[in-house]
Structure 1
Amino acid sequence: MSVQITATMVSELRQKTGVGLMDCKKALVESEGDSEKAITALRKQGVSTAAK
């Protein structure tokens, strides 16, 4: 079952991380909409500049 990723979800992740739209959307899709998992994934990729 796939979670629908909304523009609001992407926008909130962008504000937290400072990462581009497509990177945020991809991370959210891969984490099934879980923003904390998405942030972790972005950090592992070396993309995120988010502070804890």
Structure 2
Amino acid sequence: QAIEFRKPLHTSAFLQNFVDTFRKEVSFIQEDRLLHNDMKKAEDFLKHIDLSK
């Protein structure tokens, strides 16, 4: 989430694409909540993403 907090600064196109793809699976944390489901989604995302694209 730090990338979001650093706006208007930008990151690389590769990393921004990664974050955009990740955010389709795991939403931005706006307020406190249980993170178990987010962590499981993040784990599944990282296990299955193809970084060679």
Alignment TM-score, normalising by the size of structure 2: 0.30
| Bigger relative contact order (CA 8 A; separation at least 6) | 1
Larger radius of gyration: 2
